[in-house]
Amino acid sequence: MNEQGPPPEPQTPLVELRGVQLDFEHKPILHRLNLRVERKQRMVVMGQSGAGKSTLLRLILGVLRPTEGTVFFEGRDLSRASRPQINAVRRKIGMVYQSSALISSLSVRDNLALPLEELTRKRRAEINHIVEDKLAMVGMEETGALMPSELSGGMRKRVAIARALVMEPELLLFDEPTTGLDPVLAAVIDELIVNLTEKAHATSIIVTHELSSAFRTATRIAMLYKGRIIEEDRPERFRSSHNPVVEQFIEGRTKGPIQ
């Protein structure tokens, strides 16, 4: 008779928010929020504008600290981490901002090189190679000498994604990555997010209110409503949810619990 050992312990999630409360001037923004993001997932957090989706990303980056509750990265409690510990974690995270947030006075090449120059001891030749490689990954290899003002909105978004990749992050955060883009460009960016995160074996958290982008990119979808995650599931199950808030949001109805 074969003896079986104890069952394997569950893997520590890459990111976990546990009982997170965040108040601004005594006004609750997030309320007892729980969210668990496993490695290599593409977690899309959906919700209305102003629901706190971008705030969620700032908590994960350590820019904000929760009023109550805990934010974990690789099992480490960021809520009580020191500034050097937070900075060490940020090196493992790539952020793509809604506005792309490229430095207007620097060329595309220098925008990508800046984090490598400031945070690593890599030599110039190695930095140049990394910059060229990441620009090629997003189809922007001919733009290194251009200034951000010379780029279209879609091109700026691609460069921002390339910049987020230069530190080989374990986690990529996307804040409304397709806002302001036409439907075709939005689909191109969505496909780029899927392909690059899979190639890099990275985990990603994407916040958006755009349904088409959410269902194109997600391996899991969470709905943020009134400061809480009210539903979280695989896209195909999320689409057929019977939660009245989720149903109204997906169908775009004016009548329902969302006012």
**Residuewise pLDDT in 10s, the chain (259 residues):** 444 555 444 588 999 999 999 998 878 899 999 999 999 999 999 998 888 999 999 999 999 999 999 999 999 999 889 999 999 999 999 999 988 999 999 999 999 999 999 999 999 999 999 999 999 999 999 999 999 999 999 999 999 999 999 999 999 999 999 988 899 999 999 999 999 999 989 999 999 989 999 999 999 999 999 999 999 999 999 999 999 999 999 998 899 898 8
pLDDT at residue 8, rounded to an integer: 44
Strand pairing of 171-175 and 93-96? parallel
d(CA 160, CA 175): 11
Here the tokens at position 200 are 């890099």
Q: Helix, strand, coil % (nearest 5) of the chain? A: 40, 25, 40
Structure tokens belonging to residue 9:
């312990």
Q: How far is the C-alpha of 129 from the C-alpha of 112, rounded, in Å? A: 11
* Cα separations in angstroms, 9 against 6, 12, 232: 9, 9, 23
Helix (H, G, I), strand (E, B) or coil at 38: coil
pTM: 0.91
- CATH number (3.30.230.10, 3.40.30.10, 3.40.50.11740, 3.40.50.300) of 12-92+169-259 reads 3.40.50.300
Q: Provide the pLDDT for residue 1.
A: 44
Q: What is the domain partition of the chain in residue ranges? A: 12-92+169-259, 101-168
pLDDT computed for residue 50 by the predictor: 83
| pLDDT at residue 84 in the model | 92
The pLDDT value given to residue 215: 96
> Whole-angstrom Cα distance, residue 15 to residue 42?
12
pLDDT, residue 51, reads: 85
Q: Distance between CA 247 and CA 144 in Å, rounded?
A: 45
